[in-house]
Structure 1
Amino acid sequence: MPSIDQLILESINPFDNRSSDNFWLPQTGQAPLVESIHQEAIAQVEETLTLLGKKQKSQTLLLQGDGGSGKTYLLGRLKQQLNHKAYFVYIPPFPESARIWQHILRYTVDSMVKTPEGRQESQLRLWLKEVAAVTQKSLKERVFKENFWEAFQSDRKNFIKYLKQYYQKASIHNPDYFFGILYNLINSDPELQELACQWLRGDDLSDESLKLLGIKNAISTETDACETLFNFSRIATETFPIVLCFDQVQSCARLPDGRLDLPTLMGSISKIHDETYNFLVLLSVSSNSWKENQYTIDVCHIDRIDSYVNLKPIKTPQIEALLAARLGSLHHQAKPKPSSPIYPITAKMLEDEFPRGKTTTREALAFGRDIIQSYKKWVFQGKKGEFIPDLINSPERTEILAKFKNEWDEKLKQTQTTVKRIQRFSSPELIQMLKEALEGLGVTNVKTQLLNNKTFGSHSLSFIHPNTNQKIGIVWTENLNMTSFCAAIKACSKGLENQLCNTLYLLREAELPKKTTAGYKIYNQLFNGKPHRHIQPHLAEVHYLFTYYELTKEAREGDFTISGKVHTIKDLRELIREITIFNQCPLFVGLNLVKETGEPEKLIEKLKQSAWNCIVDQLYTSQSTLVTQVLSKFNEPGANQEKIEQAIAELEKEKKIDILATGNQDKLIAWVPNND
């Protein structure tokens, strides 16, 4: 077995930050659990869930802590530990105040159709089985015989009739539609299930799809969205609670004066609190943000907060437990076993770094990472003299760029794995992503709501083109319903009549109406390239937009770090421009904001760049580990071990890395600074 020093030198730094995003998305790495951290907060939430089961009246908890205290991570941990007794919903920041209920409903449904760890069925299907069991238990006379769940699915007409009768006092909103959709969701036909899910989350479906569902209209108003969400509560009074987790509110819509629109958010949460049952609202917010903005919120909304959950700094025993948990995998493989569970870190190093005996989880992990990086250098240089960690060494710009590109590749791969269709996002979300990307490119005067239209204003934005100084307008609509599309095109026509911009671009991947329709004729007259154009975005371009959008949310929350160091939204924009990420996005070529890159980059060059980014990030690692790291970032055919080893060999020829023998079958890769 290898020594601990050899393992540390050849492995990925165990303190590399594992970002905690939406807890229903695949995580980039599963961090080992330290149960003692935030134990009081978890107990407080669990106690509230128990109380909710007795009282049933919805509750609101405010989860607050300093930047880096682990708020988003805690939400994921709560879901992991309590999903057996509650259904968990993750709600990201809302992009538009006027559509907050549609946003909440969309992400409630998205979460409810996810399958909990260790289960075979989605949360929604498990919830419906609970509903079936509750109604069966309460029946005085058996409406269905034999297997109740199978009978519950068998006949749509009787299903709707029975549930309307059972819940007649619950004031179900649009009961024929709602119960019909629930029937379709448990129907065995996958196509119908998918359509039902899309309708319930608020997608504007085509007339053909609505007909298949037996529905006439989409959920198109805030009232419909709110009441549909509340239908879950009206039915869920005797089921497990539904936990609504609002996260990253620092990126939510803004008031006209630029402040966070917490009044709208808290108004919605108050309505949930007062008018629903069996919902638990968890609002995660940074302590500073809450202090700065709570005066904008009506006191009556703040009074609806039932309890405050404060994430306190972790103390020395917890810091040691966190460090030991991250180092545990390496220690387990080592022979002989290290004398201390936090080796090569010492109690003296901890005391010097945290003299007050407490810190945030992020700072503790950053400290651990810096120690390991410094220790790697010391081991590689022959362990001369006593190990004294160098914790004040500032990385060169080249290193920061390589580390950021490494992080970008990881997040982009995660996006490619999880985002399979553009219609997953609402038009306001797509516009918000585009706005962030334009600002990342350095474009000025980017403003949403170009169209003066209640329905389609949030589908539009404008900016001043940096080359022509002209005002450019963009409308992005993916509505599948052709009546809605025709209305959007008419709104575009009116906007051009009012000279709202010099050039208008329509972004739309979805199909167009038939050429014989009035909507198509208006579309064809407007977007004929003289000068207004239709650009058809592709999923790969939305992957770029969404990945960058996720990074901007982290930056605004104070959670965007490179090698443990916090970077601001301004830093992020500088990095994204410096490594020209968006030059690889054809959408911005079509908008004449970046130049075409010419010939596509060859796979071997991509692999070389990725390998170099990884080794700059880690300083030293074994060749097998480096190959695994690079492979994890590529979906492209041909990206295999042989190609990556070829890329590594070419980097050595270019004197960017050294390849050293280690005494076993593997090799050690070392970064050569200042030869890049």
Structure 2
Amino acid sequence: MRDLETIIQQSINPFDTVSFKQGNFWEEDQSESLTVNSIHQDELKLIARILAQVAKDKNSRTILLKGDSGSGKTHLLGQIKKKLSNKAFFTHIIASIQNDYIFQYTLRKTIESLMFIPEGEKESQLLLWLKNIINQQDQGLLQKIQGQRKAFVGNMKAAYPTGIWKPNAFFSVLYALTQPELYYLACEWLKGDDLDDKDAKLLGTKERIKTEQNAIDVLASFSRISGSTLPIVLCFDEIDISNNRKDLLESILKLNMIIKTQKLKDFLVIISVITDTWQSYEGLIESSLKSPINQNISLKPLTSEQIKLLWSSRLNALHQQVKLKPKSNIAPLTEQDLRYYFPSGKANPRSALKVGHQLIQKYKTGQIIDPDPIASFQLQWQEEITKNKTNITQISQLSSAELANMLKQVMEALQVNSIEFNIFKKGNSSAVRSFHYLDNNGKRIGVIWYDQSNLGSFCTLMKSCKNLLSQEAYQQLILIRSQTVGNPKNKGYQLYQQIFQTDPNRHLIPNLESIHILATYHSLYSYATNKNLTVGYETPDITRLQELCRQAKVLENCDLLEELNIIQKDNESSDDDDQDYHQEHDDNKPDREKIKEFLLNLIKIQFFMGRKMLIERTLSQFNKEVSEEEVDRAIKTLIEKQQIRIVNPQAKPEEQSICLPT
């Protein structure tokens, strides 16, 4: 077996800065081997006790979870979900939408979270919740009413005679959840999608969730029938993403107030916020909105012993590869390092990980050098977009309001002028799906993203657009929509033809690849606003994130931005000798340039890596869409161009180390 020094030289830095970022705790599985159970155990036990109280008396409760940036709030939420998964149903609500859409957004994210299948289960949280309720009434009821919507609705109305919003519609949709062919359609209705009449008929209802009040009423309906099942945990995270944090905090606290004043049952609300954000706005928020908070929890710094345990958890995998185990669990790091960098004996988890990364880098190279920020950022981007490609398989998974918000954020990163939400009169339901901006010629452009399938609502939107044009407030209107626009017999279609098939107005049809780019920037935007994004040794704010996006040119492949004339794509191949390669390969596979870019970026931030590890990491990154031979060919090209070099060329390929040219 190899010695520890060789293993460290050839491996990924175990304190890889990309891993500092904590994303959606429900979607991302937290590695058990990298979790230190003693960290935040007191807070976890307290939250478990409060959840047990909710389960016992069904009275909803609220926890305000505070901590500094990098203190581990999101990781703690992940541990709560992991450790208490059999005690509650969990939701994750990234507070990243306009304040006047917060209730509908909360409902949408609640349903999306409940659609996840917990570890060890075969059905979603949503189905487990519903079947638990049905079985509490009658163990054989679900079998008795299969194929009998009317009987199901009648039984549920008898069991819950009051407090249910539009009971015929609500219970018809719950029945549809039990029918495999209607399950996803029912979820779309519950999320608030404006379904077309044909799909709504399949669900047995003409009703839609169209307003903020409708959304609250549906959440209340969930509460009314939840008394016989596990609590639902509503986790509000990343509140700092909002440009107007005070208003967003107030909106969430108003929702929490409604839960309390209307005595909605079986909810545990957890509001996670950076300590500085809460201290900045606490005095400006009405006392009545703060009074329903039952418990304040502030995360404490790590102790010296916990820092050692955190370091040990990261280094353990390397120690396992050595025949003679090191005497210290943190080798090659030392107790002296611990005292030098943390003289107070305290640190937050991110600081402890950063120091670990620096010390391993010094052990590899003899010095601490800031990792290349563009290389680091491009690797972050690649990781995030790969995740989004897996999670987002249809445009309809995101609401039009979310997509409009994402597009606005990306355009701000590209320094588009004077972007503001809402081109309609206040109260118009399409307001949260629209914004306007000034183009390079000073023209005011209005953008509406409307991808709901209901053609009746589409017709209403077209009438609003016609009224808008009559006011001459905008020099151009742009409709973004992938759904059908109807047929010549429809009034909405006729208005659409008059408006968006006439210059200078335009209709753009977004593709899924553009959505992945928008969603990836939105994710990094969320992390950055919460100071939860690490690029090299930086913790970039929004201004720096925007600058990195422009420098790394990660937005330049977005077709939608090109159609909006925000960017101009460069379609020329950077290597003439790669043209035959591209012609021989499927368009859906990563091209050779992307593979080379990933390899080079990885070497730039790792400084030294084993050739074998470099190949394995690349295959993993591209989900084995490329072969080992293709990766090896890309490595050879980089060597030929003297962009990287082999440290020990006489060694066997699997034993070679690679670094940057000196």
TM-score after normalising by structure 1: 0.92
1:244 to 234, 249, 252: 234
1:210 to 200, 205, 213: 200
Q: 1:668, CA displacement in angstroms?
A: 3.1
- In the other structure, the counterpart of 1:167 is 160
Give the RMSD, CA atoms, in angstroms.
1.8
1:541 to 492, 500, 514: 514
Residues 261-290 of structure 1: per-residue CA shift (max 9 Å, x gap): 321211111111332111000000000000
- In the other structure, the counterpart of 2:109 is 107
2:187 to 197, 221, 228: 197
- In the other structure, the counterpart of 2:569 is 596
- 2:464 & 2:388 partners in 1: Cα distance? 32
- 1:543 & 1:508 partners in 2: Cα distance? 16
2:211 to 221, 226, 230: 221
- 2:380 & 2:549 partners in 1: Cα distance? 12
1:318 to 306, 319, 331: 306
1:444-455 equivalence runs, <5 A:
444-452=417-425, 454-455=428-429
- In the other structure, the counterpart of 2:175 is 183
1:93 to 92, 95, 98: 95
2:70 is the alignment partner of 1:68: yes
Q: 1:313, CA displacement in angstroms?
A: 0.5
Unmatched 5+ stretches in structure 2 = 575-581, 583-590
2:434 is the alignment partner of 1:460: yes
AA aligned to 2:304 is T
2:640 to 630, 653, 659: 653
Aligned residues: 642
Q: 1:662, CA displacement in angstroms?
A: 7.7
Q: Would the aligned equivalents of 2:377 and 2:552 in 1 still touch at CA under 8 Å?
A: no
Q: 1:457, CA displacement in angstroms?
A: 1.4
Q: Would the aligned equivalents of 2:25 and 2:78 in 1 still touch at CA under 8 Å?
A: yes
- In the other structure, the counterpart of 2:296 is 308
Residues 231-240 or 195-204, more deviating: 231-240
- 1:114 & 1:537 partners in 2: Cα distance? 26
1:116 to 105, 115, 118: 118
- When residues 487 and 661 of structure 1 are mapped into structure 2, their CA distance, relative to the original with a 3 A threshold, is same
Residues 334-354 of structure 1: per-residue CA shift (max 9 Å, x gap): 122111100111000010000
- In the other structure, the counterpart of 2:4 is 4
AA aligned to 2:156 is L
- In the other structure, the counterpart of 1:431 is 404
- 1:564 & 1:47 partners in 2: Cα distance? 38
Residues 420-473 of structure 1: per-residue CA shift (max 9 Å, x gap): 11121222211111111001111121111122252111111111113x222222
1:10-49 equivalence runs, <5 A:
10-16=10-16, 17-18=18-19, 19-27=21-29, 32-49=34-51
- When residues 27 and 650 of structure 1 are mapped into structure 2, their CA distance, relative to the original with a 3 A threshold, is farther
SS state of the match for residue 514, structure 2?
Answer: helix
1:325-344 equivalence runs, <5 A:
325-344=313-332
1:155 to 127, 141, 148: 148
Q: Would the aligned equivalents of 1:20 and 1:27 in 2 still touch at CA under 8 Å?
A: no
Q: Would the aligned equivalents of 1:91 and 1:247 in 2 still touch at CA under 8 Å?
A: yes
- 1:492 & 1:524 partners in 2: Cα distance? 12
Q: 1:188, CA displacement in angstroms?
A: 3.3
Residues 34-58 of structure 1: per-residue CA shift (max 9 Å, x gap): 1000001101100001111222110
Q: 1:154, CA displacement in angstroms?
A: 4.6
TM-score after normalising by structure 2: 0.94
- In the other structure, the counterpart of 1:350 is 338
Q: 1:31, CA displacement in angstroms?
A: 6.0
1:498 to 452, 471, 477: 471
Q: Would the aligned equivalents of 2:235 and 2:269 in 1 still touch at CA under 8 Å?
A: yes
SS state of the match for residue 341, structure 1?
Answer: coil
- In the other structure, the counterpart of 1:271 is 258
- In the other structure, the counterpart of 1:622 is 610
- When residues 478 and 29 of structure 1 are mapped into structure 2, their CA distance, relative to the original with a 3 A threshold, is farther
Q: Would the aligned equivalents of 1:89 and 1:244 in 2 still touch at CA under 8 Å?
A: yes
2:279 is the alignment partner of 1:286: no
Q: Would the aligned equivalents of 1:105 and 1:225 in 2 still touch at CA under 8 Å?
A: yes
- In the other structure, the counterpart of 2:628 is 641
- When residues 68 and 94 of structure 1 are mapped into structure 2, their CA distance, relative to the original with a 3 A threshold, is same
Q: 1:672, CA displacement in angstroms?
A: 1.8
Q: Would the aligned equivalents of 2:236 and 2:271 in 1 still touch at CA under 8 Å?
A: yes
Q: Would the aligned equivalents of 1:266 and 1:301 in 2 still touch at CA under 8 Å?
A: yes
- 2:283 & 2:354 partners in 1: Cα distance? 34
SS state of the match for residue 37, structure 2?
Answer: coil
- 1:32 & 1:426 partners in 2: Cα distance? 35
Q: 1:413, CA displacement in angstroms?
A: 0.3
- When residues 436 and 30 of structure 1 are mapped into structure 2, their CA distance, relative to the original with a 3 A threshold, is farther
Q: 1:260, CA displacement in angstroms?
A: 4.2
- In the other structure, the counterpart of 1:141 is none
- When residues 597 and 334 of structure 1 are mapped into structure 2, their CA distance, relative to the original with a 3 A threshold, is same
Unmatched 5+ stretches in structure 1 = 138-146, 379-389
SS state of the match for residue 583, structure 1?
Answer: coil
SS state of the match for residue 473, structure 1?
Answer: strand
- 1:673 & 1:477 partners in 2: Cα distance? 51
- In the other structure, the counterpart of 2:447 is 474
Q: Would the aligned equivalents of 1:560 and 1:567 in 2 still touch at CA under 8 Å?
A: yes
Aligned residues: percent identity?
Answer: 34
Q: 1:247, CA displacement in angstroms?
A: 0.3
Residues 194-242 of structure 1: per-residue CA shift (max 9 Å, x gap): 1111001100001110111111021112221111111111111121111
AA aligned to 1:165 is A
Q: Would the aligned equivalents of 1:316 and 1:357 in 2 still touch at CA under 8 Å?
A: yes
- In the other structure, the counterpart of 1:386 is none
Q: Would the aligned equivalents of 1:555 and 1:569 in 2 still touch at CA under 8 Å?
A: yes
2:389 is the alignment partner of 1:402: no
Residues 493-502 or 116-125, more deviating: 493-502
1:606-617 equivalence runs, <5 A:
606-617=594-605
2:225 is the alignment partner of 1:235: yes
Q: 1:13, CA displacement in angstroms?
A: 1.2
Q: Would the aligned equivalents of 1:134 and 1:238 in 2 still touch at CA under 8 Å?
A: yes
